């Protein structure tokens, strides 16, 4: 099947299919014209890749894992104990990342709560309106020259580097 049919069958965009190919996750056949031709196994491979991505693995990890799993009753099953150990380590890294993100969210909740308590409701609506106006100003996102940065120093005329 050609790439358009593969997109319809898998729900994955052409761009993503090409990315999977670049990452070594898919190896479609090529016609002399250069067109990609996918088989039924490629549909299954994309399903496996999507499953492993949803599980939190990177494409680099999936490239290492994919040859060592098989499908059994709609589940991916590792075919060797070394892979199971590798996946346990990957899971542990994901668990630590989740813990770090939860700590960040808790800190942000604290800052937001302190801000809500410190700014009266009437001022909050004015601040929100003012921030909307600032965001609406066209530009490239950089501070204008001469505007003080977080350090408070006016950087106009200061040479950078040797």
50 three-class SS: helix
**Dihedrals phi, psi of 72, to nearest 5 degrees:** -145, 115
Cβ atoms of 45 and 66 closer than 8 Å: yes
**What is the tens place of the pLDDT at every residue in 4-26?**
999 999 999 999 999 999 999 99
**What is the tens place of the pLDDT at every residue in 104-143?**
999 999 988 888 777 777 777 777 777 777 777 776 555 5
Q: What pLDDT score does 159 carry? A: 45
Mean pLDDT of the chain: 81
* Lookup: tokens for 89: 């380590």
Boundaries of every domain in the chain: 3-79, 88-135
Q: What pLDDT score does 160 carry? A: 43
Beta-strand pair 29-30/75-78: unpaired
Rg over alpha carbons for the chain, rounded to the nearest Å, is: 25
For domain 3-79, is the CATH number 3.40.50.720? no
Burial 115-130 (b: 16+ CB within 10 A, else e): eeeeeeeeeeeeeeee
pTM for the structure as a whole: 0.57
**What is the tens place of the pLDDT at every residue in 46-84?**
999 998 898 888 899 899 888 887 777 777 787 788 888
* CA distance to 95, 115, 149, per residue, from 126 (Å): 41, 14, 23
């Amino acid at each position: 099947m050609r790439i358009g049919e593969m997109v319809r069958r898998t729900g994955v965009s052409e761009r993503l299919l090409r990315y999977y190919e670049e990452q070594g996750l898919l190896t479609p056949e090529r016609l002399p014209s250069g067109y990609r031709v996918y088989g039924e196994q490629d549909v299954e491979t994309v399903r496996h890749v999507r499953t492993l991505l949803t599980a939190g693995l990177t494409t680099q990890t999936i490239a290492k894992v994919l040859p060592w799993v098989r499908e059994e009753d709609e589940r991916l099953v590792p075919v060797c104990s070394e892979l199971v150990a590798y996946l346990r380590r990957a899971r542990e890294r994901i668990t630590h990342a989740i813990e770090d993100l939860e700590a960040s969210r808790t800190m942000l909740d604290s800052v937001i709560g302190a801000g809500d308590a410190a700014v009266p409701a009437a001022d909050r609506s004015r601040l929100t309106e003012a921030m909307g106006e600032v965001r609406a100003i066209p530009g490239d996102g950089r501070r204008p020259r001469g505007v003080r940065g977080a350090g408070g120093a006016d950087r106009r005329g200061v040479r950078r580097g040797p």
